[in-house]
């Protein structure tokens, strides 16, 4: 069954994408939850008109995301964490701490939900990689360094 997504759905698609899903998934979950509508002729025409009107805004958002990606790509962020002498930190480093550190050190605000840490949870002092998914296909990769507080 073809549907038009009204909201971003992880591992399925983004807003206004037309995707093919099993009919039960569409009828029992996506449509009742307000995530999608059926892709009939009327809804396709409406979507086409909306996309045509929104094309300028999308290009502007895309250009801003590319500029953000250039700023973030290659930066190194230092995160202080309480650590034992063995190098293990108390707790773990998460996307909220990374977003706060970027804002503090580089004066740039990144939504924590867009940041993903590569690998497993960070529980030791060291250098790690993270990515920020800024727009559909625009991703910035940067490093962060976890250092022990004095």
Task: Quick: pLDDT tens for 31-56.
Answer: 999 999 999 999 999 999 988 888 88
State the pLDDT at residue 32. Answer: 95
Q: How far is CA 147 from CA 18, 92, 117, 135, 144, in A?
A: 45, 12, 17, 30, 10
- Give tens-digit pLDDT for 77-129: 999 999 988 889 988 899 999 999 999 998 889 889 899 998 778 889 999 99
Pairing of strands 138-148, 76-81: parallel
For 121, counting Cβ atoms within 10 Å of its Cβ (0-12 exposed, 13-18 middle, 19+ buried), the class is: exposed
Selected residue with higher pLDDT from 56 and 1: 1
Judge contact between 91 and 81, C-beta under 8 A: yes
Question: 107 in the Ramachandran plot: left (φ > 0), alpha (ψ -120 to 50) or beta?
Answer: left
Domains contained in the chain, number: 2
Give which of 76, 60, 3 is closest to 34, Cα–Cα. Answer: 3
Is the pLDDT at 142 greater than 70? The verdict is yes
Q: Residues 100, 84: one domain?
A: yes
pLDDT at 150: 67
The predicted model gives 119-147 an average pLDDT of: 89
The per-residue pLDDT for 87 is 86
For range 6-33, the mean pLDDT:
93
- Looking at the structure, do residues 58 and 74 belong to the same domain, yes or no? no
What is the residue range of 32's domain? 2-62
18: CATH: 3.40.5.10
């Amino acid at each position: 069954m073809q549907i038009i997504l009204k909201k971003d759905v992880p591992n399925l698609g983004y807003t206004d994408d037309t995707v093919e899903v099993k009919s039960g998934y569409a009828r029992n979950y996506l449509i009742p939850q307000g995530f999608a509508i059926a892709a009939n002729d009327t809804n396709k025409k409406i979507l086409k008109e909306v996309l045509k009107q929104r094309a300028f805004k999308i290009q502007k958002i895309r250009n801003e995301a590319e500029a953000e990606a250039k700023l973030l790509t290659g930066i190194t962020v230092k995160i202080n964490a309480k650590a034992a002498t063995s190098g293990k930190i108390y707790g773990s480093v998460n996307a909220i701490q990374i977003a706060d550190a970027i804002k503090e050190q580089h004066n740039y605000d990144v939504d924590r939900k867009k940041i993903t840490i590569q690998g497993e949870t960070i529980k030791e002092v060291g250098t790690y990689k993270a990515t920020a998914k800024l727009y559909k296909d625009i991703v910035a990769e940067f490093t962060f360094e976890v250092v022990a507080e004095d």
